[in-house]
A and B are shown apart, each in its own frame.
Chain A
Amino acid sequence: MKVLRAARMERCIGCHSCSLACARQVHKSLSWNKAGIRISSAGGLSTGFEARICLACNPAPCAEACPTGALFQRKGGGVIQKKKLCIRCGECAAACPVDAIFLDHQVNPYVCIHCGQCVEFCPHDCLEMVELTSQTDGEGGSDD
């Protein structure tokens, strides 16, 4: 099982191409929020950027918190989403330790499904898909 890692965020230019790609291709939305990856500046004007992104927990606290099974454990790590089962309680987002789940104003959750479609839209190669062997430490390799 591969998972998405924001391995080289020190290279990020804050273009939001990744979020826009996820929203466009995965969630069929024009948005920089309705996406599995969201970019914010790490502390305002002159510092770098950080990515809000699912760490692919195993076991996943969000899945454990989900009362209906709309989010359930993905083999290896992270979650699989069944939107039909979602009752929009927002428990998943509250349970995520890294705030990786975005809730829109109707409390629909948006979370990374580790499909890898955003990777090719990053102009600075900040993102990569890595093979999860067992429980990794969450750090992708850096080649710079």
Chain B
Amino acid sequence: MIRDHFRIMVANLTTGKTSILDRPGRNEYLGGSGLAAMLFEEFGHMDRDWDDPEQPVIFAIGPLTGYFPLMSKTCCSFRSPYHNQYTESYAGGKSALSLRFADLDALVIVGKAKRLTALCVGSRRVETRDVEYMRGFDALQTGRVLRKMFPGSGRRSILRIGPAAENLSAYACINVDTYRHFGRMGGGTAMGVKNLKAICILGDRGFALPEGKAYSKLYKDIFKQLTTTEMMAKYHGLGTAVNINPLNELKSLPWKNMQQTSSPEADNISGERFADDTLLRNAACAGCPVGCIHVGFVREQFQTNNQYLYRQVGYDYEPIFACGGMLEVTDTGEVLRILDVIEKEGLDNMSSGVAMAWATEALEKGVISEKETVVKLTWGDTESYMQAVEYISRPPNDFYKLLAQGTLKCAEVYGGKDYACVLGQEMAGYATGEVFFVSEALGFRHAHLDAGGYSWDQKHEDKDVKAALDFLIDDARDRIVLNCMVGCLFSRGVYNDDLLAEALESVGYTGLKGKMPEIGKRVQKMRWRLRLGMGYDPNKVKIPKRYSEVTTWKGPIDMDYMDALRTGYAARIMDLGAPIEDDE
């Protein structure tokens, strides 16, 4: 344990001043998700919109970050430009260990810089630099310049935004180090609206460890468990892309704007195919021996006479579903080329792919014309999609301006709401059935990782509303505990509550045994209170018609079941997020 309280840096971009604060609350909130929510209560404004300069962007790590393997993620929280409510996003890379070794449990950024700015923080350093000249730089180029600006290779983290976030797209991401992202809900734009192009975090100090062998021994045990289990072999081997084939077989792979839930073509963009054709190497977040990051490469001839260039692009299940299957792009290299443009523009790849899938169908149906789309969006046509990504990032007309704010917002104006694949935000790649649809549509982050609704669908044919809702709430709470530790969710099979308590104990955080469910529940309620307080009404969430038209392995969607889940889940959320009376 470094200290029993939280150490927080608050950087104010308006004044250029930085302060260091101490806050209690370790035993109540652990860190990460809980700490971020606690800090949002202190620094955030319920009564001001997301783009108010005083709204904070918060990065928080957990008590075991750096101390144990896979404690390698950072929680970023902010008021989202997507729905103007409280949200969170997670990323790894070197961000978490860099914050740890910068001796910060959290970094809070408030205010707005006059000109485009880069912020550099470390254990003995705070510096802002005017980088107005970088306006419009893509995320990769920005990374290259930043690395020269703030030396420290290997032991620093570089967070930056691309043009999409400068242009305030509601789903622009924050690119982190090598192909990691705070992807969803527009974290990039929360930075962009502050004129903050980049943050460099220098992990430049170390800490004494507890005396005795207990800690080292436990580390070794956990390391072994994490590097030998089957589960890890999966993430390390083919990576999450392994899911393409099984989901396709289960008729749960959204395909062609979810006109289909499977396709004979899916095998051409399967994890196996990606590995065979494109896999260059694996990479890892700092502190993670699993190394789930898969980097593919694609070679392109740019001139006759054998002149080639190559691109290296990270891939995972989600981007393949969104920019492969949903667009019916069925060649691994072509998928990577689309993802490469998205990476550079700094957009969320799921939202971008799903938005383009909707636009393609809308164009096909004549709801919009080429006057709006500028390029002729056609299923499987990579070039048109690469162009459209740039238009979303740098809108040439009102149509793309709206599309960059979200598919449903665009469909509300132009028509075609019925087939907008939006569940709170552009959907994640699981057409598994009623429980997942409701879980993502209403869930806190509208992320498939909020709760395992997708796996419930795959395992349960019965339609027990209460059991499914109990599962969603409890599973979300368990995940929140790991989100407070900011451990990678892939490690959730190993880090159960008892092991977490033991690990905490080994580095000096005592008294947490048996407390995890309580803490999870506390943070779960707190996050919902924040979100409901900013105007969220889960009762008003509509699930677009397309979701009632699909067929999964269980057959057609059961609308009554889905409706019961939806109203039931909304009631539970209202309950969880009710104003505090005397439950604490």
Contact = CB atoms under 8 A, between A and B. Distances in A.
Given A13-B291, A15-B288, A32-B286, A41 B153 contact: yes
A106 B290 CA distance: 34
Contacts of A124: 291
Contacts of A17: 69, 223, 287, 289
A82 interface: no
B118 to A, nearest CB: 16
Contacts, number: 104
Interface stretch (A21-29, A55-63, A69-77, A84-92): A21-29
A24 B284 contact: no
B178 to A, nearest CB: 5
A2 interface: no
Interface residues of A, number: 30
A3 B337 CA distance: 44
A95 to B, nearest CB: 22
A20 B66 contact: yes
A40 interface: yes
A117 to B, nearest CB: 10
A24 to B, nearest CB: 6
A121 B289 contact: yes
A12 to B, nearest CB: 9
Contacts of A14: 154, 178, 283-284, 286
A39 B154 contact: yes
A40 B155 contact: yes
Interface in A20-55: 20, 23-25, 28-34, 38-41, 44-46, 48-49
B504 to A, nearest CB: 14
Contact of A33 (B147, B206, B288, B289): B206
A15 B289 contact: yes
Interface in B120-146: 124, 140, 143-144
A105 B205 contact: yes
Interface string B169-208: 0000000011100000000000000000000000111111
A16 B206 contact: no
Given A29-B208, A121-B223, A13 B154 contact: no
B154 A41 contact: yes
Contacts of B143: 44-45
Contacts of B178: 14, 41, 45-46
B219 interface: yes
Nearest to B146: A44
B463 interface: no
Contact of A38 (B100, B154, B236): B154
B312 interface: yes
Nearest to A38: B154
B101 interface: yes
Contacts of B154: 14, 16, 32, 38-41, 49
B281 A44 contact: no
A15 B97 contact: no
A49 B155 CA distance: 12
A111 to B, nearest CB: 15
A40 B177 CA distance: 12
B436 to A, nearest CB: 31
A104 B571 CA distance: 55
A20 B208 CA distance: 13
B317 interface: no
A32 B203 contact: yes
Nearest to B210: A28
Interface of B: 66-67, 69, 97, 100-101, 124, 140, 143-144, 147, 153-155, 177-179, 203-209, 215-216, 219, 223, 227, 236, 281-291, 293, 295, 312
Interface of A: 13-17, 20, 23-25, 28-34, 38-41, 44-46, 48-49, 104-105, 121, 123-124
17 contacts: A13-B282, A13-B293, A14-B154, A15-B284, A16-B287, A20-B287, A23-B206, A24-B209, A30-B207, A32-B97, A32-B155, A33-B203, A38-B154, A38-B155, A39-B154, A45-B143, A45-B178
Given A20-B287, A24-B215, 6 more contacts: A17-B289, A29-B206, A33-B155, A44-B144, A45-B178, A123-B289
